[in-house]
Chain A
Amino acid sequence: MKKFSKIYTALIILFMYVPILTLILFSFNDGKTTVWKGFTLRWYADLFKDSQIISSLWNTLLIALLASLFATVLGTMAAIGINNFKGKKKILLQNAGNIEILTPDIVTGVALMLMFTLLGTALHFKMGFITVLLAHITFCTPYVVLNVLPRIRHMDYAVYEAALDLGCNQWQAFRKVVIHELMPGMFSGFLMSFTFSMDDFVITYFTRGSSFQTLSIQIYSMTHQRISPKINALSALMFVAVLILMIIINIKDKNQEKRKV
């Protein structure tokens, strides 16, 4: 049984990582095909010289940062409000967020595109940075609500009252006490938003208009042509970035747990 567990776990991990590691391996291949022609770093050099990719990267980061910040504020406020509703209204509001989460990305994408096109013709604007940002805030916010709501529910309400009792007005009590209680939920909501926004292709694809580029869109056009090994280099870099991010989060979590004990 023990042996089976180990072998099975190893096989699953192999299945998950072999494709990624293959890409990373070929990112060092001095040839355009999957035949090994010797070690090189030139694809990495090419990647950094590609101004389009670099600007797409900035766009992606900017959108992800703005969308997740905005979503965190909007979602935290929403969670506080929703928590004070009762009965059916509360359930309805909670489910409103779930609709957004459960709607297939492609439907959200085309629906937003439909609206932005209509608004665009009415108000004379073209889809681009702003519409992508609005779309990203829309699909990120429910995740923040989902993360913050349980924190509020489990928060000792008397802590807020204690702050009022000690001379805080409502805003001070929120800023000095409540926000600290909600912080872990807000942080994980922010992180989720950030990664979902970074990773999103489908919704960006439909709401970006004709010229706005993000990394996903860039990868799409590159993979469509299936030629440039620059993609391999990009994959390797993104993998390392994800790895570092995960390690940072894990360390942070561990520290938090330690502080709790």
Chain B
Amino acid sequence: MAEAKNDIIVSLRDIFVEFEGEVILNHINLDIRDKEFLTILGPSGCGKTTTLRIIGGFLEPKEGTVNFEGKKINGLPPYKRNVNTVFQKYSLFPHLNVFENIAFGMRIKKLPKNEIKKRVKEMLSIVDLKGYEKRSVSKLSGGQQQRVAIARALVCDPKVLLLDEPLGALDLKLRKNMQWELKQIQQKTDTAFVYVTHDQEEALTMSDTVVVMNNGVIEQIGTPADVYNEPVNAFVADFIGEANIINGTMIDDCRVRILGEELECVDKGFGQNTPVDIVIRPEDIEVVKPEEAKLKGEVTEVVFKGVHYEMTVMCKGCEWIIHSTKCEPVGTTIGMKVIPFNIQIMNKMFLAEKNTFYADVISSDKENNTITVKVEDCEFEIENRYFEEGTRLEISLPPSALSIAGDGVGHIDDVYIESVIFKGEHNEIILESDEQKWLMQSYVDEQVATYVPLKFDFTKAEFKIAEGKNET
């Protein structure tokens, strides 16, 4: 990788974007180096396209600076930036042919005719479309349109080319071809590419640098190998590649407890007895005889995947995925051995054993033994409890007492699902309401980045009278 300090072309500093009260980008920082292939990877709605539009000049951040070669370019319109974009749906000019589409930028700059001709020709040969000059763009295939869009942008000789999910509309086979071709084009033209995608495989195969985004923040920046082998948290691990993500406890430096077994690892500095997330890649698990490993399990499913077998193993109620060239029949008990280097320890994204929140009793009914409370502007009844009106309660609920109301009627409305991660036996879901984050366990898959009504099971709740009566 380019390690020189002064080759940064674009740098985003403390960028904050908000739209109709919703935070789209939450104070992000990002550097783009000369000639690198940088991929911004994340699920839809994570803010990756917004980041691209800020660099392109189509959107002004509410806060923060955009620097281009050291100069602040906030407020500079797109046509004054030495940056070009390949749009998601190509957005070729339908009234112009291939030649005129590519020549468009140079015609605006009023370059001499023969130079335009020469450069369009060059560009056409780079994108492998020689002889297509006179074609109407509407008569081209998706892949060809794509290449015209790239040529149209690259012919302007930008310092940075921005590509917004350019392969999204192509079928799988064409995608694979174009991935390779894009990389070729990038190397031939020596231009920095900023590539936005939600496809992790695309990101890993093409990039020099991968930027993983989620919920308007950058989770991790690194080489493809970095983000795959050393994800910083469960989200990154889950989003990139297949992974076994399990809850564990860091006993001390280099010692971790997983499913009751103490294992050796290489990570340090997490403190003592700290709850952590652990990621082990399916191909890093060695299948051995049961007596040779601390973790043992029964094979419940085997699928042949061509290069390897994918085995599902149940170990102490937890589901593991193993990729192995050896096949163990369903029903066998096997040992699972992982070398310390392959056990990746990560801090928990949201550390909480219980969800604690405050509720104000706004009315109480002694006869029926019920109270009505108010939490974050939502009012609801709690049965079989009695507290005096005006009391401020501190309520604790375990993650298993939370659920998403299937019938749409919950205790707190419009709670945002921030992440859903499968932890071997259940999904661990992080939710965000107006005032706090919530941790929920669920056996159901929920859709990330949606708003749902949250429901509580108060039979598992602990009630305490909060210090200081009813502040509000």
Q: Do A and B contact each other directly (Cβ–Cβ < 8 Å)?
A: yes
Does residue A167 face the partner (Cβ distance < 8 Å to B)?
A: yes
Q: Are B58 and A161 in contact (CB under 8 A)?
A: yes
Does residue A98 face the partner (Cβ distance < 8 Å to B)?
A: no
Q: Are A161 and B91 in contact (CB under 8 A)?
A: yes
Q: Are A165 and B79 in contact (CB under 8 A)?
A: yes
Q: Looking at the assembled complex, report how far the CB atom of A162 sits from the nearest CB atom of chain B, in whole angstroms.
A: 4
Q: Are B91 and A166 in contact (CB under 8 A)?
A: no
Which residues of chain A come closer than 8 Å to B307, judged between CB atoms?
none
Does residue B206 face the partner (Cβ distance < 8 Å to A)?
A: no
What 0/1 readout, one digit per residue, does chain B (365-389) give for beta carbons within 8 Å of chain A? 0000000000000000000000000
Does residue A57 face the partner (Cβ distance < 8 Å to B)?
A: no
Q: Are A158 and B87 in contact (CB under 8 A)?
A: yes
Which residues of chain B come closer than 8 Å to A176, judged between CB atoms?
104, 108
Does residue B468 face the partner (Cβ distance < 8 Å to A)?
A: no
What 0/1 readout, one digit per residue, does chain B (81-109) give for beta carbons within 8 Å of chain A? 00111011101111100000000110011
Does residue B56 face the partner (Cβ distance < 8 Å to A)?
A: yes
Q: Are B89 and A162 in contact (CB under 8 A)?
A: no
Does residue A152 face the partner (Cβ distance < 8 Å to B)?
A: no
Q: Looking at the assembled complex, report how far the CB atom of B46 sits from the nearest CB atom of chain A, in whole angstroms.
A: 20
Does residue B159 face the partner (Cβ distance < 8 Å to A)?
A: no
Q: Are A166 and B88 in contact (CB under 8 A)?
A: no
Question: With A165-B79, A166-B84, A169-B77 in contact, do A158 and B104 touch (Cβ < 8 Å)?
Answer: no
What 0/1 readout, one digit per residue, does chain A (153-184) give for beta carbons within 8 Å of chain B? 00010110111111111101000110011000
Q: Are A162 and B58 in contact (CB under 8 A)?
A: no
Q: Of B89, B95, B108, B138, which contacts A166 at CB under 8 A?
A: B108
In the bound complex, what is the Cα–Cα distance between A260 and B139 (angstroms)? Answer: 9
Q: Are A167 and B91 in contact (CB under 8 A)?
A: no
Q: Of A158, A168, A170, A259, which contacts B89 at CB under 8 A?
A: A158
Q: Are A167 and B109 in contact (CB under 8 A)?
A: yes
Q: Are A181 and B94 in contact (CB under 8 A)?
A: yes
Q: Are B153 and A159 in contact (CB under 8 A)?
A: no
Q: Are B87 and A161 in contact (CB under 8 A)?
A: yes
* Chain B residue nearest in CB terms to A183: B95
Question: With A164-B77, A259-B136 in contact, do A180 and B95 touch (Cβ < 8 Å)?
Answer: yes
In the bound complex, what is the Cα–Cα distance between A170 and B78 (angstroms)? Answer: 10
Q: Looking at the assembled complex, report how far the CB atom of B232 sits from the nearest CB atom of chain A, in whole angstroms.
A: 34
Which residues of chain B come closer than 8 Å to A161, judged between CB atoms?
56, 58, 78, 85, 87, 91
Which residues of chain B come closer than 8 Å to A166, judged between CB atoms?
79, 84, 104-105, 108, 152-153, 156
Which residues of chain A come closer than 8 Å to B104, judged between CB atoms?
163, 166, 176
Q: Are A158 and B153 in contact (CB under 8 A)?
A: no
In the bound complex, what is the Cα–Cα distance between A224 and B308 (angstroms)? Answer: 94
Q: Of A163, A165, A169, A260, which contacts B138 at CB under 8 A?
A: A260
Q: Looking at the assembled complex, report how far the CB atom of A74 sits from the nearest CB atom of chain B, in whole angstroms.
A: 24
Task: Give chain A interface residues in 131-163, CB to chain B under 8 Å.
Answer: 156, 158-159, 161-163
In the bound complex, what is the Cα–Cα distance between A180 and B83 (angstroms)? Answer: 25
Task: Give chain A interface residues in 184-212, CB to chain B under 8 Å.
Answer: none
Q: Looking at the assembled complex, report how far the CB atom of A169 sits from the nearest CB atom of chain B, in whole angstroms.
A: 6
Which of A156, A162, A165, A168 has the most B CB atoms < 10 Å from its CB? A165
* Chain B residue nearest in CB terms to A166: B105
Q: Looking at the assembled complex, report how far the CB atom of B92 sits from the nearest CB atom of chain A, in whole angstroms.
A: 8
Which residues of chain B come closer than 8 Å to A158, judged between CB atoms?
87-89, 91
* Chain A residue nearest in CB terms to B83: A165
In the bound complex, what is the Cα–Cα distance between A158 and B78 (angstroms)? Answer: 13
Which residues of chain B come closer than 8 Å to A159, judged between CB atoms?
91-94
What 0/1 readout, one digit per residue, does chain A (249-261) give for beta carbons within 8 Å of chain B? 0000000000110
In the bound complex, what is the Cα–Cα distance between A159 and B77 (angstroms)? Answer: 16
What 0/1 readout, one digit per residue, does chain B (139-182) give for beta carbons within 8 Å of chain A? 00000000000001100100000000000000000000000000
Q: Are B105 and A167 in contact (CB under 8 A)?
A: yes
What 0/1 readout, one digit per residue, does chain B (115-145) give for beta carbons within 8 Å of chain A? 0000000000000000000001010000000
Question: With A172-B108, A259-B136, A260-B138 in contact, do A165 and B93 touch (Cβ < 8 Å)?
Answer: no
Q: Of B56, B88, B156, which contacts A167 at CB under 8 A?
A: B156
In the bound complex, what is the Cα–Cα distance between A177 and B91 (angstroms)? Answer: 11
Q: Looking at the assembled complex, report how far the CB atom of A182 sits from the nearest CB atom of chain B, in whole angstroms.
A: 11
Which residues of chain B come closer than 8 Å to A168, judged between CB atoms?
79, 108
Q: Of A169, A180, A181, A259, which contacts B79 at CB under 8 A?
A: A169
Q: Looking at the assembled complex, report how far the CB atom of B315 sits from the nearest CB atom of chain A, in whole angstroms.
A: 50
Task: Give chain A interface residues in 23-42, CB to chain B under 8 Å.
Answer: none
In the bound complex, what is the Cα–Cα distance between A166 and B85 (angstroms)? Answer: 8
Task: Give chain A interface residues in 82-99, CB to chain B under 8 Å.
Answer: none
* Chain B residue nearest in CB terms to A179: B95
In the bound complex, what is the Cα–Cα distance between A170 and B58 (angstroms)? Answer: 12
In the bound complex, what is the Cα–Cα distance between A35 and B459 (angstroms)? Answer: 101
In the bound complex, what is the Cα–Cα distance between A164 and B152 (angstroms)? Answer: 13
What 0/1 readout, one digit per residue, does chain B (55-69) give for beta carbons within 8 Å of chain A? 011100000000000
Which of A166, A167, A169, A176 has the most B CB atoms < 10 Å from its CB? A166
Question: With A158-B89, A181-B94 in contact, do A165 and B84 touch (Cβ < 8 Å)?
Answer: yes
Q: Are A165 and B153 in contact (CB under 8 A)?
A: yes
Q: Looking at the assembled complex, report how far the CB atom of A50 sits from the nearest CB atom of chain B, in whole angstroms.
A: 45
Q: Looking at the assembled complex, report how far the CB atom of B297 sits from the nearest CB atom of chain A, in whole angstroms.
A: 51
In the bound complex, what is the Cα–Cα distance between A192 and B260 (angstroms)? Answer: 80
Q: Are A162 and B108 in contact (CB under 8 A)?
A: no
In the bound complex, what is the Cα–Cα distance between A170 and B77 (angstroms)? Answer: 9
Which residues of chain A come closer than 8 Å to B84, judged between CB atoms?
165-166
In the bound complex, what is the Cα–Cα distance between A259 and B95 (angstroms)? Answer: 10
In the bound complex, what is the Cα–Cα distance between A165 and B104 (angstroms)? Answer: 11
In the bound complex, what is the Cα–Cα distance between A166 and B56 (angstroms)? Answer: 11
Which residues of chain A come closer than 8 Å to B77, judged between CB atoms?
164, 169-170
What 0/1 readout, one digit per residue, does chain B (4-27) give for beta carbons within 8 Å of chain A? 000000000000000000000000
Can you report 14 A-B residue pairs in the complex whose CB atoms are below 8 A from each other?
Answer: A159-B93, A161-B58, A161-B91, A162-B85, A162-B87, A162-B152, A164-B78, A164-B79, A166-B152, A167-B156, A169-B79, A176-B108, A177-B93, A180-B95
With A161-B85, A177-B93 already in contact, 14 other A-B pairs whose C-beta atoms are closer than 8 Å: A159-B91, A159-B93, A161-B87, A162-B85, A162-B93, A163-B104, A164-B77, A164-B79, A165-B78, A165-B79, A165-B84, A166-B105, A166-B152, A181-B95
Q: Which 7 A-B pairs have the closest CB atoms?
A: A166-B105, A158-B91, A180-B95, A164-B78, A167-B108, A158-B87, A162-B91
Residues of B within 8 A of A (CB): 56-58, 77-79, 83-85, 87-89, 91-95, 104-105, 108-109, 136, 138, 152-153, 156
